[in-house]
């Protein structure tokens, strides 16, 4: 099962699929879905840095496995003094961890390497208000530049002997750093606006209508949507 | 843990958060002057870059949320800046979630917007730097605590089993609120000295 190539359909399919997976309540279905997404991600040739994004949710998973078995009542697995871990809690933690991981994998396979500008255009076609699509494109464009500027200012602070510690001097210094970034950013935004006006900007970016999705893309979309509904069906039966 | 991933929240919480966030975004779009778009885009990039700095607080280090500062500088435009930043964090770094975009936008933007409506006018007009710094610090800290409270509430309302996790989450927001208070106070004091216009959300 592959994702539609058309970005608009891919966004909608990812949303439907993730919504369906996130509403699963039964452990066997959740584990099966996780296995399916892992296999799909493997066959899709998911890049290593995208697999690493599973680590972002690890802190939350750790909390789940630490709290749920200890706080949910049920059949004890083991007990240390007054504390006992329940099988029900462990099952619930596994259920949630499987769903969260499956959702991350679906997201990475379907939208992991999409450039923000293309995503903005696709969302625009799906009915997102035009100013937001424009903001996505411009923020993505200036993010890299401003991160470089922040790094230069930070390097300059360190070159002058600044060392971050937990004290008011550090917090004030970081405040001044961000304040300086903001002042420069405001100046830059004025220059950007003037440059845009000089090039005939009239309040909207020109936009080429995208070709309608092909029939095979609709088939892929339908397959994924049916799969999502089947997951919910299997869960509730 | 400000970015709630997919697969955790219940459908009513997801839909409720989505409705509130959509309302905020619609309000921001109605008040939006087209000429403000470059300003919001570049400031949003700064808030994003600022949140990547690790600030030491006690034995740990925190990443700033800057919700209170955004409220003061962007007003309702905060909803737009937060939504766009979350979409970018999702596609560039894989933080947060797709179905949770609405809830996360609401949790991060709403406290800052409301606090700035309450305290923003005094922060802009006062002639006493000490009053300004204290109020800005208060807005920074309360915005963080507001976000923390709403994240916990989103978890707690989704399932009673999340209540212990929600209380751990709230606890992690306490050092962040402290750091955020001092940094926000310093940023606002800096801007008031260097470029007071920057503290106004509208066009000057």
Cβ of B32 and A112 within 8 Å? no
Cβ of A135 and B8 within 8 Å? no
pLDDT at position A85 is 79
CATH code of residue B191:
1.10.1760.20
In a domain, B77, yes or no: yes
Angle at CA A180, nearest 5°, toward A177 and A181?
85
Nearest CA in chain A to B86: A136
Burial A132-165 (b: 16+ CB within 10 A, else e): bbbbbbbbbebbeebbebbeebbeebeeeebebe
* pLDDT tens string A82-127: 677 788 888 888 999 999 999 999 998 888 888 888 888 899 889 8
Burial A23-61 (b: 16+ CB within 10 A, else e): bbeeeebbbbbbebbbebbeebebeeebbebbeebeebb
* Domain coverage including residue B107: 11-199
Which residues of chain A does B58 touch, with a Cβ-Cβ cutoff of 8 Å? 166
Pick from B38, B54, B88: CB nearest A140: B88
ipTM above 0.85, yes or no: yes
Identify the sign of the CA torsion B48, B53, B57, B62.
positive
Q: Which runs of E-coded beta strand occur in chain A?
A: 76-80, 83-86
| Number of domains chain B contains | 1
Site from A37, A92, A175, A201 to mutate, B interface, most B CB atoms within 10 angstroms: A175
Residue pLDDT tens, chain A, 237 long: 578 888 899 999 999 999 999 989 899 999 999 999 999 888 888 888 888 888 777 777 888 888 888 887 777 777 777 677 788 888 888 999 999 999 999 998 888 888 888 888 899 889 888 889 889 989 998 999 999 999 999 999 999 999 888 888 999 999 999 999 999 999 998 998 899 889 888 777 777 777 888 899 899 999 999 999 998 888 887
**Is there a contact between A70 and A83 (Cβ–Cβ < 8 Å)?**
yes
Residues lower than pLDDT 50 in chain B: 204
In a domain, B6, yes or no: no
Pick from B8, B99, B185: CB nearest A96: B8
- How many Å apart are CA A95 and CA A84, to the nearest integer? 20
pLDDT at position B204 is 42
Look at residues B82, B202, B72 and name the one whose alpha carbon lies nearest to residue B142.
Answer: B72
Q: Is A68 on the interface with B (CB under 8 A)?
A: yes
Burial B109-134 (b: 16+ CB within 10 A, else e): bbbbbebbeebbeebbeeeeeeebbe
**Is there a contact between B106 and B119 (Cβ–Cβ < 8 Å)?**
no
Q: Is A121 on the interface with B (CB under 8 A)?
A: no
Which residues of chain A does B167 touch, with a Cβ-Cβ cutoff of 8 Å? none
What is the DSSP annotation of B122-145? HHHH-S-HHHHHHHHHHHHHHHHH
pLDDT at position B152 is 93
The β-bridge relationship of strands A76-80 and B60-63 is unpaired
Cβ of A60 and B87 within 8 Å? no
Q: Is A127 on the interface with B (CB under 8 A)?
A: no
Residue with token string 């922040």: A150
Domain ranges for chain A, please list them.
7-114+211-236, 135-198
Neighbour count for residue B29 (Cβ, 10 Å): 16
In a domain, B1, yes or no: no
In a domain, B5, yes or no: no
Binding-face residues of A in 72-91 toward B, CB within 8 A: 72
Cβ-proximal residues to A198 (8 Å cutoff; 6+ apart), any chain: none
Site from A185, A193, A198, A203 to mutate, B interface, most B CB atoms within 10 angstroms: A185
- Phi, psi dihedral angles at B63 (to 5 degrees): -105, 130
Q: Which runs of E-coded beta strand occur in chain B?
A: 54-57, 60-63
Which residues of chain B does A147 touch, with a Cβ-Cβ cutoff of 8 Å? 49, 52
pLDDT at position B197 is 87
- How many Å apart are CA A171 and CA A164, to the nearest integer? 9
Q: Under DSSP, is residue B53 helix (H, G, I), strand (E, B) or coil?
A: coil
Structural tokens at position A175? 């405040």
Q: Output the CA–CA distances (angstroms, integers) from residue A65 to A62, A91, A92, B97, in the order listed.
A: 5, 10, 9, 21
Which residues of chain B does A192 touch, with a Cβ-Cβ cutoff of 8 Å? 38, 42
Q: Is A17 on the interface with B (CB under 8 A)?
A: no
pLDDT at position B1 is 60
**Is there a contact between B64 and A165 (Cβ–Cβ < 8 Å)?**
no
């Amino acid at each position: 099962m592959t994702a539609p190539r058309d970005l608009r359909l891919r966004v909608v399919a990812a949303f439907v699929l993730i919504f369906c997976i996130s509403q699963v309540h039964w452990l066997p279905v959740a584990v099966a879905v996780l296995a399916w997404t892992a296999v799909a991600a493997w066959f899709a040739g998911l890049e290593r840095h995208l697999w690493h994004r599973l680590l972002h949710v690890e802190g939350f998973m750790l909390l789940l496995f630490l709290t749920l078995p200890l706080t949910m009542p049920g059949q004890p697995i083991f007990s240390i003094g007054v504390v006992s871990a329940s099988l029900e809690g462990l099952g619930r933690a596994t259920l949630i961890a499987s769903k969260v991981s499956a959702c991350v994998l679906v997201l990475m396979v379907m939208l992991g390497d999409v450039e923000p500008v293309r995503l903005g255009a696709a969302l625009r076609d799906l009915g997102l208000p035009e100013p937001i699509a424009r903001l996505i494109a411009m923020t993505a464009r200036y993010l890299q530049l401003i991160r470089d500027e922040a790094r230069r200012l930070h390097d300059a602070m360190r070159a002058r002997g600044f060392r971050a510690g937990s004290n008011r001097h550090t917090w004030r210094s970081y405040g001044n750093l961000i304040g300086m970034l903001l002042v420069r950013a405001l100046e830059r935004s004025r220059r950007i606006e003037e440059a845009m006006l000089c090039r005939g900007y009239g309040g909207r970016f020109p936009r080429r209508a995208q070709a309608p999705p092909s029939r095979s893309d609709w088939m892929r979309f339908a397959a994924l949507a049916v799969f999502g509904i089947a997951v919910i069906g299997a869960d509730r039966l | 843990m400000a970015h709630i991933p997919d697969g955790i929240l219940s459908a009513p919480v997801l839909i409720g958060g989505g409705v509130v966030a959509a309302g905020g975004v619609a309000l921001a779009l109605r008040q939006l002057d087209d000429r403000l778009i470059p300003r919001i885009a570049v400031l949003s990039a700064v808030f994003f870059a600022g949140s990547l700095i690790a600030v030491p607080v006690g034995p740990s280090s925190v990443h700033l949320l800057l919700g209170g500062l955004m409220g003061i500088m962007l007003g309702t435009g905060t909803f737009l800046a937060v939504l766009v930043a979350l979409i970018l964090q999702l596609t560039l770094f894989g933080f947060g979630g797709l179905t949770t975009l609405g809830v996360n936008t609401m949790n991060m933007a709403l406290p800052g917007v409301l606090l700035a409506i309450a305290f923003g006018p005094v922060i802009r007009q006062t002639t006493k730097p000490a009053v300004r710094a204290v109020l800005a610090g208060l807005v920074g800290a309360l915005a963080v605590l507001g976000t923390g409270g709403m994240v916990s509430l989103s978890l707690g309302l989704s399932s009673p089993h999340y209540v212990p996790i929600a209380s751990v989450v709230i606890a992690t927001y306490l050092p962040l609120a402290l750091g955020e208070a001092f940094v926000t106070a310093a940023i606002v004091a800096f801007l008031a000295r260097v470029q007071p216009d920057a503290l106004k959300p509208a066009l000057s």
